[in-house]
Amino acid sequence: MRIGIDIDGVVSDSYPCWLTELNLHFDRNVAVIDDYEMHLVFDVSRDAMNDYFVCNAERLLMAPKPITGAKEGIETLLREGHEVIYITARTPEEKDVTVRWLSMCGIPHEHERVLFAGVSSKLELVKLWGIEVFIEDYQVNARLIAESGLPVFLLDASYNQEELSSGITRCHSWDEIIKGIQAIKG
């Protein structure tokens, strides 16, 4: 199958790293990111949050560790004959640093199969590339993609605790994601 994989919160363990950095920068003491809209969590304007990320992109995107089990899970998918396409809401300007991070972490990827939705819709890329299964952590994207008829695996996180609509399976680890995908195949 052709599998679409989000990056932040699915492959890159971005949020714990960003939590520390944002607390320092904005002089906050946030313990948990409980909303995907991080400017709300840190009580700053959307512009202030965007500016901070744009000005510090290199550091904020290179610093995170991979999510536990992501590398091994992706290797398993490839070994079992699946195709992997990364689809992130990062901007096209962040492609260079994103691909460098994937290489640094030894996470298998093909340069032309790392796609950047930016402010446009991930769903358009999902359709354009004929994705058959998607792995995501943001429940809004998960719902949009599931509504288009694709099975979606949502990696559990502090900011996605809402009840899930049909077609979305909550997983607590990459092992669970892999088992879910193997169950579709079988």
151 lies in the binding site for Mg ion (CB under 5 A): no
Measured CA to CA, the distance from residue 70 to residue 10 in angstroms comes to: 7
6 lies in the binding site for Mg ion (CB under 5 A): yes
Output the smallest distance, CB 109 to Mg ion, in A.
16
Q: Of 4, 8, 11, 123, which lies in the binding site for Mg ion, with binding defined by CB under 5 A?
A: 8
Q: Which stretch binds Mg ion (CB under 5 A): 7-15, 64-72, 73-81, 119-127?
A: 7-15
64 lies in the binding site for Mg ion (CB under 5 A): no
Q: Which stretch binds Mg ion (CB under 5 A): 6-14, 33-41, 42-50, 173-181?
A: 6-14
By beta-carbon proximity to Mg ion, the closer residue of 140 and 183 is 140
Measured CA to CA, the distance from residue 8 to residue 26 in angstroms comes to: 21
94 lies in the binding site for Mg ion (CB under 5 A): no
- Which residue, 170, 133, 163, 169, is CA-closest to 148? 133
User: What is the residue-wise DSSP string for 84-124?
Assistant: EEEEESS-GGGHHHHHHHHHHTT----GGGEEE-TTS-HHH
Contact 35, 159 (CB under 8 A): yes
The answer to whether residue 6 is catalytic is yes
Q: Of 3, 4, 5, 9, which lies in the binding site for Mg ion, with binding defined by CB under 5 A?
A: 9
The answer to whether residue 34 is catalytic is no
Output the smallest distance, CB 43 to Mg ion, in A.
22
By beta-carbon proximity to Mg ion, the closer residue of 30 and 89 is 89
* Strand order, beta sheet including 133-136: 114-116, 83-88, 2-5, 133-136, 152-155, 168-171
Q: Which 3 state secondary structure label does DSSP give 47?
A: helix
137 lies in the binding site for Mg ion (CB under 5 A): yes
Measured CA to CA, the distance from residue 35 to residue 39 in angstroms comes to: 9
Binding region for Mg ion (CB under 5 A): 6, 8-9, 137
Residues taking part in catalysis: 6, 8
